[in-house]
Structure 1
Amino acid sequence: MGALANQLPIGLSIAAVLLLIALGLTFTFGQMGVINMAHGEFIMAGAYTAYLLQGLTSQSFLVALPVAFAVAGVMGLLLEWSLVRRFYGRPLDTLLLTWGVSLVLQQLARDVFGAPNVQVTAPGWLVGGIDVLGVRLPYNRVFIIVLAVVCVVGVWLYLTRLPAGRRMRAVVQDRELAAYSGIATGRVDRFTFLLGSGLAGVAGVALTLVGPVGPSLGTFYIVDAFLVVVAGGLGQLRGAVLAALALGFLNSYLEFWTDASLAKVLVFVAIIAFLQVRPQGMFVLKGRALV
């Protein structure tokens, strides 16, 4: 029972990382129908940003969070402006296009940083842990969970309290009607890409606390992130939160009872079975229709 209880913070931290990655995909995929396979490389960019900044100051890890957001966000903005905007409405083409971009970015990372993985040293205040009711809570995993909560609250406030967020919600719900209402949908798309890519960069910084950094870092998480988006419902923040929690705990406990490879297979089977019952995900975007 003690070992099972200790899987709880592991499952929560996995869910937190998946949620940070999936937040951006929730809106780029849900709003624009873009299957962005290069999203994983924005995670990698955030992780390498933390690697480059480590040791510069005593708070270099905290500094890496906004810097990684900016770096990955600008990369996403450039990708949308230069390539993706020419392929809206063609999801298969965007999949192939962004997959090619991801391969180019991975090779670029190998050329710049080398093929071997590198390690980011965690700050001293994230080393160790605390025991709560017999459960060991590592500080690094607690930090990842808190970071995910802060990002979710920030995105929620942005969507519900700021005019730019309401414009994004309008485009997600009905792009044509939003355009007829005077909303510059192209500008909203670009900022959505920037926001989603920036959150992937933040996720990359968080991942440096649980493992090494390498050119293929993003590929290990991108499929699970898309599963979170699809299972939660396109463009649904609460769905992404619940789906990330479900996948995080499933991954954690299935790996504990079996092994990593079999756990992945069982998670895929569970998601496929769920989508047979709820093909539109946990939550469906509400709209108006004449009956």
Structure 2
Amino acid sequence: MESFSDLGAILLMQGFNGLSVFSVLLLMALGLAIIFGQMGVINMAHGEFLAVGAYTTYLFSELTQQYLPSLMPYYFFVAIAAAFAVTFALGWLVEWVLIRHLYRRPLDTLLATWGLSLVMQQALRSIFGPREVSPTLPEWLMGSVQPLPGVDIPVNGLTVMVITVILTCGLLLALFRSTWGLHVRATVQNRVMSGSVGIDTKRVDRVTFALGCGIAGIAGAAFTTIGSTGPTSGSLYIVDTFLTVVFGGAASLYGTIASAFVIAQTQSVSEFFLTGSMAKVLTLSAVVIILMLRPQGLFSIKVRK
């Protein structure tokens, strides 16, 4: 009985670890879903926007600790807003300078944003150095809660989950209950008709791309609570993020949520029984097999071409 109890506690801990991975993966995938799924742009630099958001949080930590130490318990909330603002502005600039010239040319967007990712990595390496850094977290983010004997749940993981739930609900409300969301869905359904009825489709594209980058920035801020940040930190998530979006259905936010949960939980639980590499192989193999049977992903919507 004791061994079964221990196994249950371990599986519960692995399940919660899977939720932590799910939270960061979903934050990344949500930003990519509205860029790739809604706009058809393959943004290979999406991971670098996560890194920019993480470094922004690190900078706020250092500046607050040096000049306003009394505000250390509260700086993290300001850092999240700043990470969003910085990456949103950077995404707006990238769309205006680069992406707007490459719409409906998916291979060109892939190559251009891949080159952009290398430039951003080198810029981060030149500014912050090649070594990984970590912000000083507020004391309330440290420690853990114990809902059951032998089960410790880190507070930082719970915080990331709360941020993910709030952002996901906010994005769904914005997409389905706001004028911007209506314009986005209309543009996806029929771009020519949307333009003919007065929707500024170019502005919709720019705001959508910038918002997707801003969400990646928030993912970066959340990432700093569970891992250290380096110039290539974002690139470690880009493959899993694309896989999540494609597996869920490229134009479906609900599918993105479902696929992020399935991939994160499968990988986390299988890591208990297998090595990390084998767990990754098992997860990817299962996703590939499912996509062979259902190429449109878990969810799909009908789009007029």
In the TM superposition, what whole-angstrom CA distance separates every residue of 1:59-85 from its partner, at most 9, and x where no partner exists?
A: 111111010001111111111110111
Match of 1:26 among 27, 33, 37: 33
Q: Does 1:64 align with 2:79?
A: yes
**Over alpha carbons, which structure has the higher Rg?**
2
Match of 1:103 among 99, 102, 118: 118
Q: Does 1:123 align with 2:130?
A: no
TM superposition shift of 1:177: 2.6
What's the TM-score once normalised by structure 1's chain length?
0.96
**Runs of 4+ more than 6 Å apart:** none
TM superposition shift of 1:121: 2.0
Cα distance in 2 for residues equivalent to 1:202 and 1:220? 17
Match of 1:259 among 275, 291, 296: 275
Q: Does 1:87 align with 2:92?
A: no
Q: Does 1:159 align with 2:161?
A: no
Cα distance in 2 for residues equivalent to 1:17 and 1:5? 19
8 Å Cα contact 1:39/1:200 also seen in 2: yes
**Amino acid corresponding to residue 74 of structure 1 in structure 2:** A
**Amino acid corresponding to residue 48 of structure 2 in structure 1:** E
8 Å Cα contact 1:131/1:137 also seen in 2: yes
What's the TM-score once normalised by structure 2's chain length?
0.92
> SS of the residue aligned with 1:214?
coil
8 Å Cα contact 2:246/2:297 also seen in 1: yes
In the TM superposition, what whole-angstrom CA distance separates every residue of 1:242-262 from its partner, at most 9, and x where no partner exists?
A: 011011101211222212222
Cα distance in 1 for residues equivalent to 2:20 and 2:189? 31
Q: 1:1-291 counterparts in 2 under 5 A? A: 1=7, 2-55=9-62, 56=64, 57-58=71-72, 59-134=74-149, 135-287=151-303
Cα distance in 2 for residues equivalent to 1:223 and 1:288? 28
Q: Which runs of 5+ in 1 are unaligned?
A: none
TM superposition shift of 1:287: 4.6
8 Å Cα contact 1:9/1:142 also seen in 2: no
CA RMSD for the aligned pairs?
Answer: 1.3
Cα distance in 2 for residues equivalent to 1:277 and 1:285? 17
The count of corresponding residues between Structure 1 and Structure 2 is 289
TM superposition shift of 1:175: 2.1
TM superposition shift of 1:161: 1.6
Q: Which runs of 5+ in 2 are unaligned?
A: 1-6, 65-70
Cα distance in 2 for residues equivalent to 1:148 and 1:268? 24
In the TM superposition, what whole-angstrom CA distance separates every residue of 1:27-57 from its partner, at most 9, and x where no partner exists?
A: 1111221110111110000000010000513
**Structure 1 residues 182 and 51 mapped into 2: Cα distance closer, same or farther (>3 Å)?**
same
In the TM superposition, what whole-angstrom CA distance separates every residue of 1:119-146 from its partner, at most 9, and x where no partner exists?
A: 1222110111111134321100000111
Cα distance in 1 for residues equivalent to 2:93 and 2:277? 36
**Amino acid corresponding to residue 246 of structure 2 in structure 1:** V
8 Å Cα contact 1:20/1:200 also seen in 2: yes
